[in-house]
């Protein structure tokens, strides 16, 4: 049922007339700030500093995806290089998260690979890491292949794995021996039953199974990305005897009280903080996960100012 509601939300929010209405109004932009740090690098650096001061680690995500223009893809690369430099200059406990389609994957794969290599090289020089976000299921294999190539060269990458995909158990066995870190999340894209689990209970069961598998890898850092209290408790149990590093990850602006409790317990937590002007697709995915927020969205869409 939750998946059906989420798909209905995406069906409404993805209409061009709705998108235009939300993006051009002050209430729409204000709604985005619940989940997005701002549009500028300075905005996200300020948020990251505040989170670090309160004990959180951070991952910066410069929003954008499905870039087909080479100039824009190269600009995305440069934006990430600037973000990495800013992380180092400000002494932040932070890394960056990258979507490969933002670098040209699917249009110019060679350009995307070279850009990812440049980002990884800069991160290695500045003493931080890079996480490759996972996108829709049609891109999973290409994303993993590019991760394998660049990770073997630089060794400072991580990759997201989506628990609802049938293939994920094999993907973990494939990428975990490469070291780095693996962010395990449930999955936020509407996928058909041939490639993804559809039932919330089935996804939860598979998530816990994959957490158990991840915790057995000594040289890979599991990053358990969930806001589900039952999944958090299950991960704590799974990691009870683990002596090697691992962490929780959560989204900026989502379940902030729970985030504070995890920090108070002494468990490391990294907050995924997006920024940039391409915030609308990200916002709609957050709304699909929590349809109760549609009331605020509707007000923004109907506003004239």
Residue 29 is a catalytic residue = no
Ranges in the chain annotated CATH 3.20.20.220:
37-278
pLDDT, residue 6, reads 46
Q: Which residues pair with 248 in a beta bridge?
A: 224, 269
pLDDT, residue 260, reads 98
The whole-model pTM stands at 0.88
pLDDT, residue 34, reads 82
pLDDT, residue 278, reads 85
3 state SS of 194 = coil
37-278: what fold? TIM Barrel (3.20.20)
pLDDT, residue 127, reads 98
d(CA 111, CA 74): 8
Cα(first)–Cα(last) distance of the chain, in Å? 35
pLDDT, residue 25, reads 56
List the catalytic residue out of 57, 77, 183, 286.
183
pLDDT, residue 295, reads 46
List the catalytic residue out of 79, 133, 171, 204.
133
Rounded mean pLDDT for each run of 10 residues along the chain, 305 residues in total: 45 46 56 84 98 99 96 98 99 99 98 99 99 98 99 98 99 98 94 96 98 97 97 98 98 94 98 91 72 46 42
Residue 174 is a catalytic residue = no
- The helix or strand, by DSSP H or E, that contains position 57, with its residue range, turns out to be strand 57-62
- The helix or strand, by DSSP H or E, that contains position 181, with its residue range, turns out to be strand 181-185
List the one residue out of 172, 171, 199, 203 whose CA is nearest residue 186.
203
DSSP secondary structure letter of residue 224:
E
Side-chain-side CA neighbours of residue 81 (13 Å)? 14
């Amino acid at each position: 049922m939750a998946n059906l509601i989420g798909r209905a939300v995406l069906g409404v929010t993805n209409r061009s007339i709705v998108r235009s209405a939300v993006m051009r109004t002050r209430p729409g932009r204000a709604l985005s700030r619940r989940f997005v740090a701002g549009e500028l690098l300075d905005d996200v650096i300020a948020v990251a500093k505040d989170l670090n001061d309160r004990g959180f680690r951070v991952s910066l995500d410069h929003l954008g995806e499905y870039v087909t223009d080479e100039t824009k893809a190269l600009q995305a690369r440069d934006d990430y290089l600037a973000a990495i430099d800013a992380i180092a200059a400000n002494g932040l406990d932070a890394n960056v998260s990258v979507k490969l389609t933002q670098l040209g994957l699917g249009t110019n794969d060679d350009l995307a690979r070279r850009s990812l290599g440049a980002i990884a090289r800069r991160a290695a020089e500045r003493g931080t890491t890079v996480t490759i976000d996972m996108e829709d299921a049609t891109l999973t294999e290409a994303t993993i292949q590019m991760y394998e190539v660049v990770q073997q060269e630089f060794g400072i990458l991580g990759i997201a794995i989506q628990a609802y995909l049938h293939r994920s158990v094999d993907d973990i066995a494939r990428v975990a021996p490469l070291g780095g870190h693996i962010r395990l999340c449930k999955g936020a894209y509407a996928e058909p039953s041939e490639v993804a689990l559809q039932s919330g209970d089935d996804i939860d069961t598979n998530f816990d199974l994959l957490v158990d598998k991840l915790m057995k890898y000594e040289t890979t850092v599991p990053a358990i990305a969930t806001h589900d209290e039952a999944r958090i408790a299950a991960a704590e149990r799974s990691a009870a005897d683990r002596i090697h590093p691992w962490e929780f990850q959560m989204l900026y602006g989502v379940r902030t009280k729970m985030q504070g409790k995890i920090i108070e317990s002494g468990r490391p937590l990294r907050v995924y903080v997006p920024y940039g002007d391409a915030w609308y697709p990200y916002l709609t995915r957050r709304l699909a996960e929590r349809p109760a927020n549609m009331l605020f969205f509707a007000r923004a869409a109907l506003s004239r100012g």
